[in-house]
Amino acid sequence: MKKLSMLFVFVVLFAFMVGCSLNDKRSIDTPVAEIEATENSDVSNWQTAYISFLKDFPAPEDNEILEFSLRDLDGDGVPELIICQMDNAAYTKDLLVYSYENSIYKIGEFENAGSYASALCITDNPMFGGLFLLWYGGGVERYGYLSVEDRELKYEYLFYYDRTVEPHNKGIISDNEQLVEEADNAFPPYDYYDNILEMYNIGDFDAFGVFLLDTVYCN
């Protein structure tokens, strides 16, 4: 990812030192000068566009929860906007993925049809910037990988665990051994919660500050 300017780093750190907490909930209309990139037009543009897009996003239905996150799925330096539509009645998750290049465009969407629970996980491995998915239904856990290539969503089904039989059966689907191994790293047994992609309510700006701070400290 592109390096942020020293001026932007100073602005972020100063705001943080005087008591700005990324955990504080903020209204969608609250000014966020502490995360504006005045010296980096690329960051400023996608940030402004995404915030405006979220402000106008349709309100959730009564049985629906809308959350979003930011993740650079294709490694081009501009994070994708990921919107998760979760239906409380069926515990399913639909993912809508958008990106920015002069304007916002929709990359695609992914639906976990017939699933009763799902999780989105990430790892720190720069080779795999996409999302590792787990969804469950009918006693079978299914694991896959969602990435962006050439402005299109690409999903690869990796493996499954069949919990309906003893001993539990693991079936490898993908021949990409590195990807399967990384999925195992993303979902260590009984302890994958630290790897879950952090999601935010549609009205929160926290994701923008967290993403930009992570960019400063991780590059």
Work out the angle at residue 96's Cα, subtended by the Cα atoms of residues 210 and 81, and round it to the nearest 5 degrees: 25
Backbone angles phi, psi at 171, to 5 degrees: -115, 120
Residues 6+ apart with CB under 8 A from 125: 182, 185
Give CA separation, 65 vs 12, 18, 31, 200, 209, in Å: 30, 33, 25, 11, 22
Using H for helix, E for strand and C for coil, what is the string for 17-36? Answer: HCCCCCCCCCCCCCCCHHHC
Rounded to an integer, what distance in angstroms lies between the CA atom of residue 199 and that of residue 207? 8
| Residue positions counted in the chain | 219
Identify whether the C-beta of residue 13 lies closer than 8 Å to the C-beta of residue 19.
no
The stretch 44-73 carries a mean pLDDT of 86
pLDDT score of 58 more than 70: yes
List the domain boundaries for the chain: 1-57+202-219, 59-199
What pLDDT, on a 0 to 100 scale, did the predictor assign at position 136? Answer: 82
Query: Which position has the higher pLDDT, 57 or 92?
Result: 57
3-state secondary structure of 43: helix
pLDDT score of 209 more than 50: yes
pLDDT score of 21 more than 70: no
The stretch 162-185 carries a mean pLDDT of 92
What pLDDT, on a 0 to 100 scale, did the predictor assign at position 33? Answer: 32
pLDDT score of 3 more than 60: no
pLDDT score of 203 more than 80: no
What pLDDT, on a 0 to 100 scale, did the predictor assign at position 104? Answer: 94
Mean of the per-residue pLDDT values for the chain? Answer: 75
Rounded to an integer, what distance in angstroms lies between the CA atom of residue 219 and that of residue 216? 6
Q: Which pair of tokens denotes residue 98?
A: 């958008």
The stretch 149-157 carries a mean pLDDT of 94
What pLDDT, on a 0 to 100 scale, did the predictor assign at position 70? Answer: 92
- Strands (E) in 101-139, as ranges, are 104-111, 117-121, 131-137
